[in-house]
Structure formats: structure tokens, C-alpha cells
Amino acid sequence: MRHSSLLALVLTACVAASPRAQQSARVPERPDQPIFRLSVSLVQLDVVVTDRHGRHVTNLGRDDFEVYQDGRPEPVTAVSYVDAADDWVDTSGLAALPVESLRPRDARRVMAVVVDDLRMSFESIAQARYGLKKFAEREFRAGDLAVLVTTSGGSQHPPVLTFSPLVLKAAVGRLGYSLWGVRGASALDPVTDPRDLADGYDNFQERTFALSSLERVEAVIDSMQGLPGRKSVTLVSEGFSLFGFGMDNQLIRDFMRQLVDHANRAGVVVYALDPRGLVVTGPMAADAVNPARAAQLSMMRGAALRESQDGLRYLAGETGGFAVVDSNDLAGGLRKIVTDQAGYYLVGYQPDAGTVSTDGSGRYRKLKVKVKSKGLRVRTRSGFYANASE
């Protein structure tokens, strides 16, 4: 209930227009254009194509794309490129307007940052605060609409969608270490004994807090559904273990699949940032008394780190985003995420008869999008539950 009521405030902020905004006609409105569409005759996807240097490729047409559903080629019916800085929005005009006069429909980019402070160390909170502060100062542009949400919900200030970098920076400044949080093996709690990775109570506690954090991410995604365009959620987290050590994580895997489906239908791309940076998992001074034990613990620490990062990679990759891990430059990772939102293709194809269900019984369909030109990389959603959205 706490999560629902808090995120309802975010949704209210999304759809409410101020009197000044209603009076303003100086900013051209962006036409509503669904990002992810499912009907019995059309599947439409948002697709990002980059070259080997990570630069967006913007000049491709319908004949350049190939779409495979469950391994079978599908006829591509339409391709168009959407430029996030296109002429539909005049960023100089937006910059000249007071932020309180802008409406969600005026947004050039819609971004939510979810900080998983419920499960983060003091050091990670400090890194997140520093990187997000630099993001608000350097990367926030006129027309950007953003909100910062914590999984602990510990702040006395409710999250608010804002066009103001100052408001966002103030929210970042209120980030703090959660005394109610937990850090388990999947969050790389220091492993000093193999039994640490199989402690039943700690695993139960970690799973409970992880599910709570994922519920908050899902609530943020759902609250963004009514906003225009391609939205993004950047999850700053120490990760989620999908296949933990002696821990049944089926609940987490099932919830992540549900979360991915919500993100796809809301037109939301998920990115992930690991604030721990480059973690040293090798032998520690305390392990030196027993070389064999030191090697064993080092291997387990490395496996625990990879386990936690796999959850971030899965969540981001399934929705068309990416995860930034093993990097001490959190601000640089945020810059990379913002750059990735420069534009995208809308690729439509005609599914086989019976692919998309209208009664809610549609099964999961795997997707693969390719381009014919060599050396280019394609990112899109990896699949969908084939239930019609229109």
C-alpha cells in the first residue's frame, strides 16, 4: 500500500497540467505514437542500431531489417526513425519557458531513476549520489522530464516528475543509507566462509527485500505508461541473483519476467547501473593463513558478484537497454545511457495468424531483429507475451 500510494503521487504529477501550461501555446506538441504495439495484424517494436563505436545509425529503411519471431522470419511492413531531438520540439523555446509552465506532453525525454537504497552499502550510496549529481548538472537538458525514486521510500519528500535540474539535484542530495536495508550474498556481502552463501535466513531476507525493490520498479514503470514516447527507467542497484547459491530464486525470476512484460507494454526501456564499480574479489589479507581456503573464497566472491550482475543484465537486455557494470565512472555510465536515448527506429511487422491473442491466453514469443549491413549492432526487446494491447 505504501508503494502504491507513493507512486500514485508520481502519476498525479504526470497527468496534471498547471494553469500556466494550459495557457501556453509556444511549445509544439508531440504526436502520440505508441512505442510497443500489439494487435492481430501488427507488432511494432522500438529498435536501436549502433555502429562498432556505439554511434546511432539513422539512415536505414525497411529493406535493411529482418525480424524473426520464434526463429521464423516475419514480413517487415514499416520502418521509421524517431529522432529525440527532432523539430517537433524546440529546445531553445523550452529553455526560455519557466519549468512550471511545461506539461508532460512537452517532454523531449522521460526518465525515471530508481535507486535501490534498500539493498545498497554506504559506499554505493555515496557513489550513486556523486554520479547522479553530475548527471543533473551536466546531462540534464531543456525538455527532459525526470523523477528520482528510492526503493526504501525513506525520504519525507514524495517523488515528483520535474523539468528542473535543480529539483532533481535536490532529490539526489537527500539520498542516504537505509538503516532498514539488507545486503545478502547477491549484493556481494563480504564472504568470509562458504557457509555464508547458504545461510537460509539471510537468503530468505535477501529474497524478500529484492522482491520489494522489484515491486517498486514495477510501480514506477506502470506510472509512466500514460506518458508519451519512449521512456526509460535507470535502476541503480547492487543487483539481483537469479540463480543464487542454495537459494530458490524462482520467485525473483518469475517477477522479473512479469516486470519485463509491464515495461514492454508501457514503452519503457530499462537500463541498469551497478554503483559498486570495479570490485576486487581476489584473496584478502584475512585469507592469507590458508592459501587453499583463500582461493576457494576468492572464487565464491567472484561468482557472487557475477550472480548479482546477471539480474541487472537480464532486466536491461530483455527491454532493449543495457547494464553498466564493473565501472568506477558512474557519471560516465549515466552519460552513456542518456546518449543511447538520442533516437530509435519503429519497426512494424505482420505476425502470423493466431500469433496475438485477444482473450489474454497468448504465449511468450521470442524476438530477434537483425540488419543486413555488417558491423552494426541491434538492440530491442527480446520478446513479448502475445496478448493484444489494442
Q: Where are the domains of the chain?
A: 37-84+343-385, 90-340
pLDDT at residue 97 greater than cutoff 50:
no
Lowest-confidence region among 175-189, 227-241, 320-334: 175-189
15 against 175, higher pLDDT = 175
- Segment among 14-18, 80-84, 159-163, 354-358 with least mean pLDDT: 14-18
Helix then strand count (H, E) for the chain reads 9, 14
Average pLDDT over every residue of 76-98: 62
Average of per-residue pLDDT values in the chain: 79
Task: Provide the pLDDT for residue 1.
Answer: 45
Across 49-53, 205-209, 343-347, least confident range = 205-209
Write the Ramachandran bin of 54: left for phi over 0, alpha for psi from -120 to 50, otherwise beta. left
Q: Does residue 368 surpass a pLDDT of 90?
A: yes
Crossing angle of helices 2-15 and 200-223, in 10° steps, is 20
Q: Which residues contact 156 (CB under 8 A, 6 or more apart)?
A: none
Residue 172 has pLDDT above 90, yes or no: yes
* pLDDT for residue 351 is more than 60: yes
pLDDT for 55 beyond 60: yes
Angstrom distance (rounded) from CA 235 to CA 210? 13
90 vs 110, which has greater pLDDT? 110
Residue 131: is its pLDDT beyond 90? Answer: yes
**73 confidence band (pLDDT: 50, 70, 90):** very high
Segment among 213-217, 219-223, 356-360, 374-378 with least mean pLDDT: 356-360
The three cell numbers of residue 275 are 554503483
Which position has the higher pLDDT, 240 or 66? 66
How far apart CA 188 and CA 296 sit, in angstroms, is: 15
Does residue 265 or residue 286 have the better pLDDT? 265
Q: Where are the alpha helices (DSSP H) in 267-329?
A: 291-318
Cα–Cα distance for residue pair 214/263, rounded to 1 Å: 12
pLDDT of residue 225: 85
Are the C-beta atoms of 258 and 218 separated by less than 8 Å?
Answer: yes
pLDDT at 146 over 80: yes
Q: Are 43 and 381 in contact (CB under 8 A)?
A: no
Q: What is the dihedral of CA 33, 377, 340, 149, to 10 degrees?
A: 80
| pLDDT confidence of residue 19 | 36
Q: How many CB atoms lie within 10 A of CB 87?
A: 7
22/16 Cα distance (integer angstroms) = 10
Look up residue 308 and give its three cell numbers.
Answer: 548479482
In the chain, % of residues over pLDDT 90: 41
Q: What is the model's pTM? A: 0.81
The mean pLDDT of 183-196, rounded to a whole number, is 44
pLDDT at 301: 73
pLDDT band at 377 (very low <50, low <70, confident <90, very high): very high
pLDDT at position 72 is 94
pLDDT at position 12 over 50: no
Q: Determine the Cα–Cα distance for residues 232 and 276; give it in Å rounded to an integer.
A: 22
Class of domain 90-340: alpha beta
- Lowest mean pLDDT across 103-117, 145-159, 233-247, 263-277: 233-247
- State mean pLDDT over 214-231: 88
pLDDT beyond 90 at 47: yes
Q: Given 3.30.60, 1.10.10, 2.60.40, 2.30.30, which CATH number is that of 37-84+343-385?
A: 2.60.40
Where is pLDDT greater, at 179 or 359?
Answer: 359
Dist. CA 178–CA 120, nearest whole Å? 8
Using an 8 Å Cβ cutoff, are 161 and 14 in contact? Answer: yes
Residue 59: pLDDT over 70 = yes
Q: Does residue 235 carry a pLDDT above 70?
A: yes
> Percentage of the chain surpassing pLDDT 70?
73
- Cα separation, 237 vs 18, in Å, equals 34
* Nearest C-alpha neighbor of 43 from the set 322, 367, 372: 367
